[in-house]
Structure 1
Amino acid sequence: MTGNAQPGRVGYRDIANDLRRQIDSGELPPGSKVPGENDLTSQYGVEQPTARRALDVLKNEGLIVAKRGSGTFVREFKPIRRVSPDRLQAGTSWGSGRPIWTADVGTRPRTEGVTVDVELPAAQVAEVLNLDGGSHVVVRRRTYVVDDKPVQLATSYYSEALVAGSAITQINTGDGGAYARLKELGYEPVRFREELRVRMPRDAERETLDLAQGTPVILIVRTAYTADDQPVEVNEMVLDSAAYVLEYKFTSED
C-alpha cells in the first residue's frame, strides 16, 4: 500500500492495518520508532487528522506507545511470569521465609506506598470473610515495583479480631510475609481461590501504574483458607497487563 498511496484514497483504517502488518511481521520490531503524523501524511498522501486517527487506533489496541518528547514506539513486552500454584507453595516460598514473588521474578520487588488501616469492609469483603455487621478489617495497601516500573497494586483484607496485635498490622510483616504470620497465629493458609478478570483501569490505577493508552489491567482476587475452610485473607490485585504472563499448572489427578 505504501508505494501506491494516492491522496483521498487511503483511510485511517488502511494506514492502521498497514502499520499493524509491519508490527506483526517484525518489520517494525518491539522498541522501534513508528512513523509520526508528518511522516504518515507524506507517505500515504493523507491529511494530519487521518494520520493521527490511525495512530490512535494502534495505541488503543496497545500495540504502540507514545513517549513524551521522543515519539511513538512499538510496545516492548518483557513479561513477569506469574506461575500458579508454585508461588503459593508453603515449602518453597512464604513457609521458608521467602516472599511469594521469588517464584515470579526470583527476588523481592521494591514495595512502595505501604499503608495499614482499620476500616469497615465493603459488603463483598465482609461476606467472603464471614464477618458480622460492624466488624472491622485490617487493610494493607501497597504498590510493587520491578526494575523501577510499578507493575501491581495490592489491597489485602484481614479480620481485625483475627490479626490484632500481630505484625500483619505493621508496615513490615517480617520474613515470609502475612501468610507466615497467619501460620504463627494458628491460621495457616493451605487452600487458595483466585478469580480473574480483565478490565480497563480506573484513573488512579492508570496514574499509579503509569499505564500507556489502551492498556487494560488484570484484576485478581485471591481468598486464602485454612485447613478447616476458614477464610483468612482477601487480596485484591491490579496488574499491569503489559507486564505479565499468567501461567497455571494443572494435573489430571484428583
Structure 2
Amino acid sequence: MSPTAESATADPRPLHERIAADLRDQINAGDYPPGTAIPSTEQLKTRFNASNATVQKALGLLKREGLVVGRAGSSVQVRGLRRQIMTPALYSAPAAPGGRYRWIAEAERRGQSGTSKLLEVGEVVPPGDVREALGLDEGQRAVLRKQILFLNEEPCELVKSYYPLDLAAGTALMLRKRIRGGSPALLAEAGYPPARTLDRVSACIATQEQYEALQLPSDLPVLRTLRVVLSQDDRVIEVTEMAKASHLYELQYEF
C-alpha cells in the first residue's frame, strides 16, 4: 500500500528508510524468496510515490545489510538469507568433556565457521539489571568476560557474561584466555552445573559500543537477551547480556 500523507505524518522517518523497512519485512517474511527479483525501480516509485533517488537510497540500505544484490540498470535480487534461526535451548547445556563451545559446534553443524574473540576479563561493577539478578548491592563487583561471536568472519553478537566473585575466584573465569567447552563446562566441573535458564529478550536501539562492535550497516536495532543461569540449588551462577545483530538473527523458542 502506498503511504498517504496521514501515514507519512505518523511515521517521521525519511521516506527511503520507510521503503527499506517495508521491503526488509517482506524479504524476511519470505514474500521475496532468495534468488528472486524484488519489484523494479519504476514499480517501487509508483508504490511508494517516491523519486528514483529515494528508491535507490532505500535499496542502498538493503544492499549494505546484505539482503539484496544488484547494479544500477539491472534487477535487484534477494540474496540467500543470512538470518540465522537460533534455538537458545541448544546452547545452555555444558559441552561434553573435551568438547567444543556449543555455539561454535552448532555453527559447524550448519556448515558455517563460528569463532569468538575475547575482548576483556576483569572485575567490574555490573549494570543495574545484572546487579539485581546477581543479588549484589550498589557498588559491588563481579567478574566480567566480554567477547564477540563471529559467523563466517562477520561479527554477529556481543556477549558480556558476569559471575559472582566468590564463585569465579581461583578458576579460569578470572583469566584472559578462552575456556575449553565454554563457561557452562567449567561451571559444571566446579560443581555448579547449569540447571535452569531465564531469558528476557527485547529489541533495543544499538548503543555506540554495540554499533561499532557488530559493525552494523545502518541504524538497525539489536536483540538484547538478559540471561540468568541458575544451578541445581537455584543459585545464580551466571548473568549474561547478549546483543545480537537483528539482521543476522532470529530466535526460536519451543514450549
State the TM-score, normalizing by the size of structure 2: 0.70
Per-residue deviation, 1:113:
4.5
Quick check: 1:230 aligned with 2:196? Answer: no
With over 3 angstroms needed to count, the CA separation of the structure-2 counterparts of 1:141 and 1:158, relative to structure 1, is: same
Per-residue deviation, 1:228:
1.3
Quick check: 1:248 aligned with 2:253? Answer: yes
CA–CA distance in structure 2, aligned partners of residues 34 and 149 of structure 1? 29
Comparing 194-203 and 131-140, the one that deviates more: 131-140
Match of 1:168 among 168, 173, 177: 173
With over 3 angstroms needed to count, the CA separation of the structure-2 counterparts of 1:25 and 1:177, relative to structure 1, is: closer
Q: Determine the structure 1 residue equivalent to 2:89.
A: 85
Letter in 2 for 1:169: M
Per-residue deviation, 1:217:
1.2
With over 3 angstroms needed to count, the CA separation of the structure-2 counterparts of 1:247 and 1:109, relative to structure 1, is: same
CA deviation vs aligned residue, 1:62-81 (integer Å, no higher than 9, x gap): 7x2248xx968656422333
Quick check: 1:65 aligned with 2:66? Answer: no
- CA RMSD, 1 decimal: 3.8
Q: Aligned residues: percent identity?
A: 25
Q: How do 1:1-254 and structure 2 match up within 5 A?
A: 16=19, 20=23, 26=32, 50-56=51-57, 64-66=62-64, 76=79, 77-90=81-94, 93=95, 97-102=99-104, 104-106=106-108, 109-250=114-255
CA–CA distance in structure 2, aligned partners of residues 83 and 227 of structure 1? 22
CA–CA distance in structure 1, aligned partners of residues 101 and 127 of structure 2? 28
Q: Radius of gyration: which is bigger?
A: 1
CA–CA distance in structure 2, aligned partners of residues 192 and 25 of structure 1? 35
With over 3 angstroms needed to count, the CA separation of the structure-2 counterparts of 1:176 and 1:123, relative to structure 1, is: same
CA–CA distance in structure 1, aligned partners of residues 205 and 154 of structure 2? 19
Q: Determine the structure 1 residue equivalent to 2:12.
A: none
Secondary structure of 1:151's partner? strand
Q: Determine the structure 2 residue equivalent to 1:3.
A: none
Per-residue deviation, 1:163:
0.6
Q: Determine the structure 2 residue equivalent to 1:7.
A: none
Per-residue deviation, 1:204:
2.9
CA deviation vs aligned residue, 1:51-109 (integer Å, no higher than 9, x gap): 333345566xx7x2248xx968656422333113232234xx36663312156413672
State the TM-score, normalizing by the size of structure 1: 0.71
CA deviation vs aligned residue, 1:170-197 (integer Å, no higher than 9, x gap): 1224322112222232222211001111
Letter in 1 for 2:87: V
Structure 1: runs of 5 or more not aligned = 1-11
Secondary structure of 1:106's partner? helix
CA contact (8 A) 2:45 2:55 kept: no
Letter in 2 for 1:79: R
Secondary structure of 2:210's partner? helix
CA contact (8 A) 1:116 1:170 kept: yes
CA contact (8 A) 1:82 1:104 kept: no
CA–CA distance in structure 2, aligned partners of residues 139 and 31 of structure 1? 45
With over 3 angstroms needed to count, the CA separation of the structure-2 counterparts of 1:114 and 1:44, relative to structure 1, is: closer
Structure 2: runs of 5 or more not aligned = 1-14
| Structure 1 stretches of 4+ moved >4 Å | 19-26, 28-35, 55-59, 70-75
Q: Aligned residue pairs: how many?
A: 222
Secondary structure of 1:242's partner? coil
